[in-house]
Amino acid sequence: MARKVLPPDEIAKRLPSLRAWSLNGDRLERSWTFPDFAEALAFINRVGVLAETADHHPDIHNSWNRVTLSLTTHDLGGLTEWDFELAKKIDAIH
Ligand code: H2B
């Protein structure tokens, strides 16, 4: 299916289904806090498996027990269905 950058009204329509995520410019972002670095890293690795399977990869920031994921579709320069689909999959594994 052809993908395109979603217009603002389409983004607004989809946001309520991802309550833990926030829109930061043209990115979807969510942060998690874990008991320690090892658990944060294990989460990153689980996300990595999802990302490889979907061939869609979040930008990942880690600071000890904290992980922030930032989703955008680099190839198209904005948010697409791929980002919303990946966010839902990530929510399902946390
Ligand atoms: N991940 C994200 N977030 N955006 C992309 O545009 C993207 C990606 N493109 N993962 C994929 C890989 C592309 O480069 C490969 C060739 O499918």
Looking from the CA of residue 86, the nearest atom of ligand 1 is 3
CATH number of this structure's domain 20-93, picked from the four choices 3.30.70.260, 3.30.1360.20, 3.50.50.60, 1.20.1250.20: 3.30.1360.20
Residue ranges per structural domain of the chain: 20-93
CA distance 9 to 4: 14
Burial of 27 from C-beta contacts in 10 A (0-12 / 13-18 / 19+): middle
CB distance 80 to ligand 1 below 6 Å = no
At 94 the pLDDT is: 81
For 23-75, write each residue's pLDDT tens digit: 999 999 999 999 999 999 999 999 999 999 999 999 999 999 999 999 999 99
Q: Is pLDDT of 1 > 70?
A: no
What is the per-residue pLDDT for 3? 83
Tens digits of residue pLDDT in 76-92: 999 999 999 999 999 99
Q: Please, which residues have CB within 8 angstroms of residue 35's CB and are 6 or more apart in sequence? A: 65
Picking from 1, 67, 14, the residue whose alpha carbon sits closest to that of residue 37 is 67
**Residue 19 pLDDT class (50, 70, 90 cuts):** very high
56 lines ligand 1 (CB under 6 A): yes
Q: Judge contact between 28 and 84, C-beta under 8 A.
A: yes
Give me ligand 1 centre to Cα 54, in Å.
9
